Amino acid sequence: MAIEESGDVDKVTEKRMADLLGCTKRALEGRRLRGAIPEGVWIKHGGRIIYSKKRYDEWLESQWIYPQGLTSITVHSDSGSCGKVVAEVKPFPTPRHKKASKLHPGFAIR
């Protein structure tokens, strides 16, 4: 979740960062302690944890995985409007459920 807030303040406390992300301070602390949020996004300063909103957004953006086959093609329209981006993405194969096997007629209960 990218952080959107007006103002030039980049460094915020853990409590404020949790508020901006829409989670509790305890949940954010847990992510930090598990290493889910890397050091560099946060620092310990004078016994307090301080987060950089800018570095958090940069780190979050770096977590996106782009498939190799994903290509963007700009299609020009005759209407004069801006082009439309078309991406070729192959869908994941959907596993088929096997049908239940039918019992041999000799085993059927009558």
Q: What is the DSSP string of 72-84?
A: EEEE--TTSSPPE
pLDDT of residue 65: 82
**Maximum C-alpha span of the chain:** 80
Of 9 and 55, the structure prediction assigns the larger pLDDT to: 55
pLDDT of residue 80: 52
- Please compute the mean of the pLDDT values over residues 38-51 and round it to a whole number: 92
Instruction: Please say whether the beta carbons of 51 and 29 come within 8 A.
Output: no
Does residue 110 have a pLDDT over 70? no
Q: pLDDT (tens digit, 9 = 90+) per residue, 51-87?
A: 999 999 999 999 888 777 665 555 555 555 455 555 5
What is the SS3 assignment for 3? coil
Calculate helix-pair angle for 14-21, 53-62, nearest 10 degrees: 50
Instruction: Please say whether the beta carbons of 3 and 57 come within 8 A.
Output: yes
pLDDT of residue 34: 93
